[in-house]
Amino acid sequence: MLYPNKVKAMLNINKKGLMQELRRTFRLDWTGIHGAPHWARVRHCGLMLSNLSGADLLVVELFAFLHDSHRQNDFRDPQHGGRAADYALSLNGSYFLLNRLQMDKLHYAISAHSDGEVHDDVTIQTCWDADRLDLWRVGKTPDPKYLSHFGRQLIEPAKFAHPFSL
């Protein structure tokens, strides 16, 4: 299915180059709990949610790839969001092209994604919902109070999308 604005978003991102850059700089297990398979599931949930919510698809997709890209470990790393957000800022213009408003949203979504907040901006909340819907990978049920209306609708489908949640 072609999501709304997907063609336009595809023109503003060099996914192959971005993934090569992430592979080069990612410090953890590429296939681990915060690695590429997690990013792919966050992207998938983000695309579905964007289709429902009208969120900025490019911001949501970039969030999926970048939000955990600068973790130093798979456990407690409270500064990882800030590091990843600054890294995203440094990549704008090289692997993707965001305007100032989009970059501000991406930077905030990444920097605060693990702070347990909710946000009234649909794009930021969609990013957070997409990440939270993959909590099944670590044996946690996503808490509806931290999800948008659209995110709450996908709690059970997201559970069955992850092989370790059953």
Please give the tally of structural domains in the chain: 1
> Using one digit for the tens of pLDDT, what is the confidence trace for 122-141?
999 999 999 999 999 998 99
Q: How many Å is the Cα radius of gyration of the chain? A: 15
**Residue 72 belongs to domain with CATH number:** 1.10.3210.10
Report if residue 166 sits inside a domain: no
Q: Quick count: other Cβ atoms within 10 Å of Cβ 28?
A: 17
1 in any annotated domain: no
Grade residue 34 by pLDDT with cuts at 50, 70 and 90: very high
Residue range 71-112, pLDDT digits in tens: 999 999 999 999 999 999 999 999 999 999 999 999 999 999
Domain presence at residue 45: yes
Domain of 20, in residue numbers: 6-161
The Cα–Cα gap between 108 and 159 comes to 27
| pLDDT the model gives residue 150 | 96
Q: Which residues are CB-contacts of 30 (< 8 A; sequence separation ≥ 6)?
A: 23, 36
Please, what sign has the CA dihedral across residues 73, 80, 90, 122?
positive
